[in-house]
Amino acid sequence: MDFSIQITGFVALYIFMLAAFAGWVIIGHVPAILHTPLMSGSNFVHGIVVVGGMFALLNASTVQEQTIGFFAVLLGAGNAAGGYAVTDRMLAMFQTSGHASKHHKLGHVKAHRAKAK
Amino acid sequence: MTMASIAQLTIGVTDLAAAFLFMYGLKRMSSPVTAPSGIFLAGLGMLVAVLASFFYVFDVSAAAKPHLIVNVVLGVVALIVGGGFAWWGGKKVAMTAMPQMVAIYNGMGGGAAGAIAAVELFGNKASGTTQLVVTLLGALIGAISLSGSLIAWAKLQGVIKKPLRVRGQQYFNILVLLGTLAVAGYLVYVAQGASSQLLPTPQLIYLFFGCALVYGVLMTLPIGGADMPVVISIYNAATGLAVGLEGFVLGNPALMIAGMVVGAAGTLLTLLMAQAMNRSVANVLFTNFGGVPQHKPSHIKGSMKPTAAADAGIFMRYAKSVIIIPGYGLAAAQGQQKLYEFVKLLQAAGVSVKFAIHPVAGRMPGQMDVLLAEAGVPYDLIFQLDDINEEFKATDVALVIGANDVVNPAARTDKGSPTFGMPILNADQAKQVYVVKRGQGKGYADIVNALFYADNCNMIYGDAAAVLTTMIEAVRGLGTKAAA
């Protein structure tokens, strides 16, 4: 069986169009308070380029290709890992004044479990 | 089934899952409640896709087979080193330095897209003119994003202090861009099988990347620091686009989808930001905003009246309502914890306290929201411009901390002002305004602020954190009796 993916001409344009529309709609509903985490989050998402870097590196057949491919993976991995670390840290900070913070909830759950034992 | 088709199936399924998780994750990030799970899901998609990418070893080209072991080792090392350092940096960086960190990671993504394109170009792997053109386009955008993001980083980090501007710079930049496009066009022409060429193809490729990188630097250098949020957002969208284009070249739909989603989302975010400043994106990029020395316009009456931090703190303790307008000065002084401590004291004394955030306050959209969140301020106390601007009229005190241009009434009244037309927070309409400021200098946009000269405004000079400490001590000094 052949599972290789062939994307040509108009198929590519359809994918691009639908993806662009999806991105536009998804971001359109984000409140201003989340703009920075969102910019950082979308920055993380294009870190998927690391997968393309892996493809280029694994298919390298000259020292030059290996060198450039190495940097493609290095930079892409940096984009992905750094983007995730930063976004995760930012989002963990948001909480409401309704005492519904995670720490409290977790604390209660732990207390209950301790009692049950 | 052969190993090659098993590999293709595995990669196909995981990449599909990754594309889904990215979009679902971003969708969940549109509310503060679900956002942490959103980034986790997107991260899961990334992890799965990266692990599955090792299945490419079963499906490599014949030429690469002898080098496979070396290539796999290189890949693992690059993943660990690149990912490790960036992870460590991302965990360690101070919240205030977040914008430049995002700029760096973004530049890395652009660089990766450019590097992939370089491998394709040097290896002459493009099949057909369409592929070659798309490869070159992705390379151009990726390279500009890389060098441009690095300059944006240097500006935010303070390595480059002043916008660098030369007469006729814009024309020179256009020439460099046209030159880059010309080299790209010539590369396409050569690929059609020209019998003789001016330079050997590898040299042409070097020239192409060199020009594109130089253009990114030249394009970013003249843009003022206050506009960096918009610039970072543009480069974020650009990197997404470059990744999407290289995804097409590699025949990888996950890259195409993720890249294009980010490209579109980043474009929308850029437009929203430019809109908040009442300027067009072209205006941000090409008009060399700010930096022109200005003198106090003759129509501004009065003088700046300094007051003591302790007096201001006690005044607020006995006010009914206070709206706080934080700006980059608060971030620079790392004063967010002290600020919330002060706010809690006011709240304990029965003062109604709200935070008003201007869309472009700080160096990145929403940076102030993140900083306040870091200090533990609940986000239901934080209000955006449109939601709170009417309330200033009925408010006793507006406390402006390290913000400047976003409260400058000149944007409403003075047609000659560079910020004219930008919606501002109407701090001047509060009964009393306190402005905490490091010195008598101007804001990032370098414009005289009429608010500082207003009759109902007093200046408190000093580092935001130090001023807030004094205020806290002053209010505590009143003791519990006063609070009763």
Residues B152, B235 contacting (CB under 8 angstroms): yes
| Cα–Cα distance measured from residue B132 to residue B191, given in angstroms and rounded to the nearest whole number | 9
| Cα–Cα distance measured from residue B31 to residue B27, given in angstroms and rounded to the nearest whole number | 8
DSSP 8-state code for residue B350: T
Average pLDDT over residues A12-17: 92
Chain B residues whose beta carbon lies within 8 Å of the beta carbon of residue A42: 26, 236, 240, 261-262, 265-266, 269
At B262-273, the pLDDT tens digits run 999 999 888 887
Beta bridge partners of B382: B355
For residue B295, name the pLDDT band (cuts at 50, 70, 90): very low
Residue tagged 């062939």 (tokens): A6
For residue B82, name the pLDDT band (cuts at 50, 70, 90): very high
Q: Is B405 a catalytic residue?
A: yes
- For residue B288, the SS3 value is coil
Beta bridge partners of B352: B321
**Residue A1 confidence (pLDDT) above 90:** no
For residue A114, name the pLDDT band (cuts at 50, 70, 90): very low
Q: What is the mean pLDDT of chain B?
A: 87
| Cα–Cα distance measured from residue A90 to residue B392, given in angstroms and rounded to the nearest whole number | 29
Residue B348 contacts A, CB cutoff 8 Å: no
Verify whether the Cβ–Cβ distance B26 to A94 is below 8 Å.
no
pLDDT score, position B282 = 82
Q: Quick one: tokens of B176?
A: 């460099």
Q: Quick one: tokens of A16?
A: 């691009």
Residue A3 contacts B, CB cutoff 8 Å: yes
**Residue B294 confidence (pLDDT) above 50:** no
Residue B188 contacts A, CB cutoff 8 Å: no
Chain A residues whose beta carbon lies within 8 Å of the beta carbon of residue B9: 1, 3
Burial of B480 (0-12, 13-18, 19+ CB in 10 A): exposed
Chain A residues whose beta carbon lies within 8 Å of the beta carbon of residue B239: 43, 46
ipTM, two decimals, is: 0.82
**Residue A82 confidence (pLDDT) above 90:** yes
Residues B174, B260 contacting (CB under 8 angstroms): no
Strand order in the sheet with B352-357: B382-384, B352-357, B321-326, B397-401, B432-437, B457-461
| Cα–Cα distance measured from residue A58 to residue B61, given in angstroms and rounded to the nearest whole number | 9
Average pLDDT over residues A19-41: 84
Picking from B115, B370, B380, the nearest residue to A36 by CB comes out as B370
For chain B, give percent helix, strand, coil, nearest 5. Answer: 65, 5, 25
Picking from B53, B364, B379, the nearest residue to A55 by CB comes out as B53
- How would you classify the pairing of strands B321-326 and B397-401? parallel
Distance from the Cα of A50 to chain B's closest Cα (Å) equals 7
Chain B residues whose beta carbon lies within 8 Å of the beta carbon of residue A33: 32, 357, 366, 369, 379, 382, 384
| Cα–Cα distance measured from residue B238 to residue B264, given in angstroms and rounded to the nearest whole number | 9
pLDDT score, position B289 = 52
Residues B366, B335 contacting (CB under 8 angstroms): no
**Residue B484 confidence (pLDDT) above 50:** no
**Residue B208 confidence (pLDDT) above 90:** yes
**Residue B259 confidence (pLDDT) above 90:** yes
Average pLDDT over residues B145-170: 85
Residues A22, B23 contacting (CB under 8 angstroms): yes
Percent of chain B scoring above 70 in pLDDT: 92
| Cα–Cα distance measured from residue B57 to residue B40, given in angstroms and rounded to the nearest whole number | 28
Verify whether the Cβ–Cβ distance A45 to B98 is below 8 Å.
no
pLDDT score, position A105 = 38
Task: Considering only residues A111 and A59, tell me which one the structure prediction assigns the higher pLDDT.
Answer: A59
- Cβ neighbours, 10 Å, residue B21: 23
| Cα–Cα distance measured from residue B383 to residue B277, given in angstroms and rounded to the nearest whole number | 18
- How would you classify the pairing of strands B352-357 and B321-326? parallel
| Cα–Cα distance measured from residue B403 to residue B323, given in angstroms and rounded to the nearest whole number | 13
Picking from B56, B91, B263, the nearest residue to A85 by CB comes out as B91
Least confident window among B172-181, B230-239, B318-327, B379-388: B379-388
Residues B361, B328 contacting (CB under 8 angstroms): yes
| Cα–Cα distance measured from residue B375 to residue B223, given in angstroms and rounded to the nearest whole number | 31
Q: Quick one: tokens of B117?
A: 């394109």
Residue A74 contacts B, CB cutoff 8 Å: yes
Ranges of H-type helices in B192-292? 201-220, 228-250, 253-276, 281-286
Could you tell me the CA-to-CA distances from B286 to A24, B170, B222, B280 in Å, in that order? 25, 7, 8, 10
| Cα–Cα distance measured from residue A49 to residue B105, given in angstroms and rounded to the nearest whole number | 12
Chain B residues whose beta carbon lies within 8 Å of the beta carbon of residue A72: 112, 115-116, 119
Picking from A20, A81, A86, the nearest residue to B264 by CB comes out as A20
Verify whether the Cβ–Cβ distance A82 to B89 is below 8 Å.
yes
Chain B residues whose beta carbon lies within 8 Å of the beta carbon of residue A16: 244, 248, 256, 260
Verify whether the Cβ–Cβ distance B370 to A90 is below 8 Å.
yes
For residue B88, name the pLDDT band (cuts at 50, 70, 90): very high
Residue B94 contacts A, CB cutoff 8 Å: no
Task: Considering only residues B317 and B294, tell me which one the structure prediction assigns the higher pLDDT.
Answer: B317
Rama region for B446: left / alpha / beta (φ>0; ψ in -120 to 50; rest) = left
DSSP 8-state code for residue B171: H
**Residue A117 confidence (pLDDT) above 60:** no
pLDDT score, position B446 = 61
Residue B379 contacts A, CB cutoff 8 Å: yes
Of the residues B15, B227, B369, B405, only one is catalytic, namely B405
Distance from the Cα of A90 to chain B's closest Cα (Å) equals 6
pLDDT score, position B223 = 84
Q: Which of B70, B248, B107, B60 is nearest to A15 (CA)?
A: B248
Residues B223, B231 contacting (CB under 8 angstroms): yes
Mutation site, A7, A49, A61, A68, interface B, largest B CB count within 10 A: A49
Strand segments (E) across B20-143: none
Average pLDDT over residues B210-225: 90
